[in-house]
Protein backbone atom coordinates (compact mmCIF):
# COMPACT_ATOMS: atom_id res chain seq x y z
CA UNK A 1 0.00 0.00 0.00
CA UNK A 2 1.31 3.43 -0.87
CA UNK A 3 0.74 6.45 1.34
CA UNK A 4 -0.52 9.14 -1.05
CA UNK A 5 0.64 11.98 1.19
CA UNK A 6 4.26 10.84 1.48
CA UNK A 7 4.60 8.65 -1.67
CA UNK A 8 6.05 5.99 0.58
CA UNK A 9 5.01 2.47 1.57
CA UNK A 10 4.18 1.73 5.22
CA UNK A 11 6.48 -1.08 6.37
CA UNK A 12 7.63 -2.87 9.49
CA UNK A 13 11.39 -3.46 9.57
CA UNK A 14 13.36 -5.76 11.85
CA UNK A 15 17.12 -5.67 12.29
CA UNK A 16 19.85 -8.05 13.39
CA UNK A 17 20.08 -5.96 16.56
CA UNK A 18 16.52 -6.92 17.53
CA UNK A 19 15.07 -3.55 16.55
CA UNK A 20 11.46 -3.36 15.36
CA UNK A 21 10.50 -0.23 13.44
CA UNK A 22 7.44 1.08 11.61
CA UNK A 23 7.89 3.77 8.99
CA UNK A 24 7.49 4.81 5.38
CA UNK A 25 9.95 3.37 2.88
CA UNK A 26 10.55 4.51 -0.69
CA UNK A 27 8.21 2.73 -3.09
CA UNK A 28 11.25 1.47 -5.00
CA UNK A 29 13.26 0.16 -2.03
CA UNK A 30 15.39 -2.90 -2.58
CA UNK A 31 16.31 -5.84 -0.43
CA UNK A 32 19.55 -4.19 0.68
CA UNK A 33 20.99 -4.49 4.17
CA UNK A 34 20.03 -0.86 4.85
CA UNK A 35 16.76 1.01 4.48
CA UNK A 36 15.82 4.63 5.07
CA UNK A 37 12.44 5.25 6.72
CA UNK A 38 10.53 8.51 7.05
CA UNK A 39 8.46 9.15 10.18
CA UNK A 40 9.80 5.94 11.71
CA UNK A 41 8.70 4.73 15.13
CA UNK A 42 10.43 2.11 17.25
CA UNK A 43 8.39 -0.45 19.15
CA UNK A 44 10.19 -0.77 22.47
CA UNK A 45 7.74 -3.30 23.87
CA UNK A 46 4.74 -5.18 22.55
CA UNK A 47 2.31 -7.22 24.60
CA UNK A 48 1.51 -10.90 24.05
CA UNK A 49 -1.90 -10.05 22.56
CA UNK A 50 -0.03 -8.79 19.46
CA UNK A 51 1.28 -12.32 18.82
CA UNK A 52 4.79 -11.30 17.83
CA UNK A 53 6.28 -8.75 15.48
CA UNK A 54 4.18 -9.97 12.54
CA UNK A 55 1.10 -8.93 14.54
CA UNK A 56 2.51 -5.41 14.63
CA UNK A 57 2.36 -5.38 10.81
CA UNK A 58 -1.08 -6.98 10.72
CA UNK A 59 -3.03 -5.27 13.52
CA UNK A 60 -0.61 -2.64 14.84
CA UNK A 61 0.36 -1.82 18.40
CA UNK A 62 -2.23 -1.76 21.19
CA UNK A 63 -2.53 0.43 24.28
CA UNK A 64 -0.32 -2.09 26.14
CA UNK A 65 2.62 -1.44 23.78
CA UNK A 66 5.38 1.16 23.98
CA UNK A 67 6.03 3.06 20.76
CA UNK A 68 8.48 5.94 20.51
CA UNK A 69 8.10 9.26 18.67
CA UNK A 70 8.54 9.58 14.90
CA UNK A 71 11.90 10.43 13.31
CA UNK A 72 13.60 9.89 9.95
CA UNK A 73 16.17 7.08 10.21
CA UNK A 74 18.47 4.82 8.22
CA UNK A 75 18.48 1.27 9.56
CA UNK A 76 21.38 -1.12 9.06
CA UNK A 77 21.52 -4.92 9.19
CA UNK A 78 17.93 -5.33 8.03
CA UNK A 79 16.54 -8.84 8.53
CA UNK A 80 12.96 -8.36 7.29
CA UNK A 81 10.63 -5.82 5.69
CA UNK A 82 6.89 -6.48 6.04
CA UNK A 83 3.99 -4.63 4.47
CA UNK A 84 1.74 -2.96 7.07
CA UNK A 85 -2.04 -3.17 6.79
CA UNK A 86 -4.07 0.06 6.56
CA UNK A 87 -5.69 -0.59 9.95
CA UNK A 88 -2.27 -1.21 11.54
CA UNK A 89 -0.97 2.10 10.09
CA UNK A 90 -3.66 3.95 12.07
CA UNK A 91 -2.57 2.24 15.27
CA UNK A 92 1.11 3.02 14.63
CA UNK A 93 0.31 6.66 13.97
CA UNK A 94 -1.46 6.79 17.36
CA UNK A 95 1.89 5.75 18.95
CA UNK A 96 0.66 4.06 22.15
CA UNK A 97 2.92 4.19 25.18
CA UNK A 98 1.69 2.23 28.18
CA UNK A 99 3.05 2.96 31.63
Q: What pLDDT sits at residue 1?
A: 45
Q: What is the model's pLDDT at position 30?
A: 62
Determine how many CB atoms are found less than 10 A away from the CB of residue 98.
12
13 close to 81: Cβ distance less than 8 angstroms: yes
Q: What pLDDT shows up at residue 99? A: 57
Domains and CATH numbers, the chain: 8-94 (2.30.30.100)
Chain-wide mean pLDDT for the chain?
Answer: 88
User: What digits encode the pLDDT tens for the residues 10-54?
Assistant: 999 999 999 999 999 987 766 778 999 999 999 999 999 999 999
Q: What is the pLDDT of residues 63-98, one digit of tens each?
A: 889 999 999 999 999 999 999 999 999 999 987 776
String of DSSP letters for 5-42: TTTEEEEEEEETTS-EEEEEEETT--S-S-EEEEEEEE
pTM attached to this predicted model: 0.86
pLDDT at 38: 96
The answer on pLDDT for 4 being more than 60 is no
Amino acid sequence: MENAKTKKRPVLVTTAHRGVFFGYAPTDYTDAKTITLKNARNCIYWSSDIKGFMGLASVGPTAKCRVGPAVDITLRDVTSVSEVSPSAVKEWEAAPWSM
